[in-house]
Amino acid sequence: MQYDVIIIGAGASGLTAALNAKKNGAKVAVIAKTLPTHSQTVQAQGGINAVLYEDDDSVEQHIEDTYKGSYNISNKRNIEYMCKNAKDTILWLDSIGVPFNRNKNDKIAQRKFGGTKKIRTCYSSDYTGLKIVHTLYDQCISNDIQFYNEHQVLELIVSNNECFGCIAYDIVDGKVKEFMSKSTILATGGYAGIYKNHTTNSLSTTADGIAIAFKAGADLSNMEFVQFHPTTLENTNILISESARGEGGLLLDENENRFIDELSTRDEISREIFKKIVKKEKVYLDLRHIEKEKIEELIPQEMRLASEFSNIDISKELLPITPAAHYSMGGIKTDINTNTSIKSLYACGECAQTDIHGANRLGGNSLLEIVTFGKIAGINATKNLSTETINQETINKYINQNKSKIKTLLQRDKSSYSIHKTKNTLGDLMFKKAGLFREEETLLSLSKELEALEASLDSIHIDDKSSIYNKNLLEYFELENSICVSKTLIFSAMKRKESRGSHYREDFNKANKLYEKPSILTYKNDQIDLNFEDIK
């Protein structure tokens, strides 16, 4: 199958890229391991940032807040581009049918999010991400965009540092297929999901795209920066939106005393909460003092989530909470045009590191980023269609390698290693040793433990032998990718000997000017290398 542009991933970034590439006349296909409406973007509740009306806010202020949030390691020009275009981005989403709430003057309504004093976040009730994805998907359907759903991409086809497409595994019928393209866009989402059982992320967010790109030779950047969200439900890690604190929710310790300013930044609050949890103390979100009507009007989804998943009525009871991995600031290194270090390979959305969020992302800036850069990727990938070709022999080599890998996996003898237990172990270890607090010693021991986990991959048994919807095989690939990305995270966390934003080193508990730079990871000839590079 030959396309002009293939897009891997069908969250808001992938769907936006697809629509824009198609609009530019390209022959487009979207490949995703889930269905588009099952992508993680549907989980975004709070909203999407933009300065729409400059009466009390300004684009400059948005740029400044984002830059400050990044702890000075972002690219002001990239941020400026995103913020300047934010209004148009919202108006575009609005024009294709995203039903943004309106205020009394029939203007698009906005709410307040952390990290800024301004009211800047546009929303569609409690379901901003859901409504954005479904609207984009409806547009894709009416524009006849070709979807290959439930196709897990295993590898990029790269020759002489140029990407020619990818190899995917058709989950439904077990076939290995090649998708050839002049341009390839990765929009596979982030990697906070590797903290399994300690994350707000979707169960299918397993860092695939980043691992695949890295193995193909693409540079990664800022992998050490993972944002933890302070308020997720104990036991399930379902997110209780920042709006809860925004509307006056308090954080209480076991003795029902406040211990922190609830409106400090996410990383600070998370760390303070976690210190208590490590000591086996409980921490609660208290909304009892807010009138029930107000709760029902402003945060109805949070009320439902607390009641359904924790069996708690937030208008009457304290809600036990815990911090969890939420968002990954790092990813595949790109420039403002979404180019990666591999020719004809683009990346956008949470899998990309576009020098916007640096060491910490502001709430509401991610949806803005994924739509803004999804559009750039779609357009740019169509403009720069490569004329290079690759011979059939190389393609066959890729196909055969993957087929034989799968065959070998399925033939393996039974062993004591289990995919699911290993996934859980990985999540627990990462949370414990490369979570909210890090230090040389624990990172080193984690690194050893990870080596052992990686070695166990060689003997993990695939229980399901069938070629029909073999989830075990997919889970194996996901585990492989999660381990690969965990390694890059630990490696970067060890090298950054300072504390900055979400990256907190107990042995270097202050920011250090020397490290006021993004980290760049390269992988060549089986060697990982890391450099801190100035922003260009």
Partner 1 sequence: MKLKINRLSTATNDFKTFEFTVSQENLLKALEEIKTNDDPTLTYRCGCKSGVCGSCTVRVNGVEKLACRTNIKEGDLVEPLKNSRVIKDLVVDVSHETLLIKKTNIGIKESASKNISQADVLKIDTQSNCILCNACYSSCPVYEVNKEFLGPFALTKALRYENDLKSQDEEIINSVQANGIWDCTLCSACTFVCPQGIDPKMDIMQLQNISSQKGYTNPYMNNFDNSMGFDSFDSNDFGFNPNGGF
Ligand X SMILES: Cc1cc2nc3c(=O)[nH]c(=O)nc-3n(C[C@H](O)[C@H](O)[C@H](O)COP(=O)(O)OP(=O)(O)OC[C@H]3O[C@@H](n4cnc5c(N)ncnc54)[C@H](O)[C@@H]3O)c2cc1C
Considering the complex, state which of residue 241 and residue 442 has its C-beta at the smaller distance from ligand X: 241
Distance separating alpha carbons of residues 138 and 133, to the nearest angstrom: 9
Please give the structure tokens belonging to residue 89.
């981005």
Closest CA to 214 of 165, 164, 160, 156: 156
Residues 115-174 that bind partner 1 (CB under 8 A): 124-125, 127, 130-131, 134-135, 138-139, 141-143, 147, 149, 172
Structure-token match 């929009």, residue found: 187
| Mask for 434-473, x = binds partner 1 (CB under 8 A) | -----------------------------xx-x-xx-xx-
Stretch touching partner 1 by CB under 8 A, among 184-192, 262-270, 419-427, 503-511:
419-427
Number of Cα atoms under 13 Å in the Cβ half of residue 328 = 32
- Please select the residue that binds partner 1; options are 1, 2, 77, 102, rule is CB under 8 A: 102
CA distance 66 to 255: 36
Closest CA to 225 of 441, 499, 40: 499
Stretch that binds partner 1, among 233-241, 319-327, 350-358, 437-445 (CB under 8 A): 233-241
Of 266, 438, 500, 505, catalytic: 266
Residue 266 is among the residues annotated as catalytic for this protein: yes
DSSP 8-state secondary structure symbol assigned to residue 394: H
Is there binding between residue 97 and partner 1 (CB under 8 A)?
A: yes
Query: Which residues 6+ apart lie within 8 Å of 168 measured at CB?
Result: 31, 148, 151, 152, 153, 154, 176, 177, 178, 179
Q: Which is nearer to ligand X, 225 or 508 (CB)?
A: 225
Which residue in the set 74, 78, 188, 202 belongs to the binding site for partner 1 (CB under 8 A)? 202
| Residue 198 interacting partner from ligand X, partner 1, none (CB closer than 5 to 8 Å by kind) | none
Taking the complex as a whole, the smallest distance from the CB of residue 37 to ligand X amounts, in Å, to 9
Cβ-Cβ contacts under 8 Å for 266 (sequence gap 6 or more):
114, 115, 227, 228, 229, 230, 242, 326, 360, 363, 502
- Residue 469 touches which of partner 1, ligand X, none (Cβ within 5-8 Å per kind): partner 1
How far is residue 247's CA from residue 266's CA, in Å, rounded to a whole number?
16
Of the pair 135, 519, the CB lying nearest partner 1 is at: 135
**CA atoms of 377 and 356, how far apart (whole Å):** 16
Which positions are catalytic?
Answer: 266
Which residues are near partner 1 by CB under 8 A? 34-35, 37-40, 42-43, 91-92, 94-97, 99-104, 106, 109, 124-125, 127, 130-131, 134-135, 138-139, 141-143, 147, 149, 172, 202-204, 236, 238-239, 305, 308-309, 418-421, 424, 463-464, 466, 468-469, 471-472
